[in-house]
Amino acid sequence: MSGDTRHIQRDMDAAQKKADILKALAHPVRVRVFEALAGSEKTVGELVTMLGEKEANTSRHLAVLRNAGLVATRKEGLNVYYSNKMPCLLSMLSCVDQAVCDIADEHMKIACCIRK
């Protein structure tokens, strides 16, 4: 395998890992769970109360985030505490928030022009 081929494969592997992380966050409930864990660790019960989701559904989404390496767990007695293992991704989500607002603003400008 040539140096260029190895470099291309390494780039593809890195891109795949990035895509895997983004896939893990590619569901609104998982984004909400991930952001809810930004401040402090929480149990499933606390997340259920915060998010209004069913416990089984919340647990499934936590498993996806955990398998992607985005959430860590700590067991204390009967409780399992979940924490955000990759807080650096919160700034990316903040950027996405800004993009959502910017796109909505653009759509509003277009809608206002159409209505005139």
Give the C-alpha separation, 27 to 8, whole Å.
30
Whole-number pLDDT of residue 1: 61
- How far CA 47 is from CA of 13, 35, 66, in Å, comes to 33, 11, 15
Q: Residue 8: pLDDT above 90?
A: no
Question: How many other C-beta atoms can be found within 10 angstroms of the C-beta atom of residue 64?
Answer: 18
Q: Residue 113: pLDDT above 80?
A: no
Model confidence over 69-85: pLDDT tens digits?
999 999 999 999 999 99
Q: Residue 115: pLDDT above 80?
A: no
0.85 exceeded by pTM: no
Domains and CATH numbers, the chain: 3-85 (1.10.10.10)
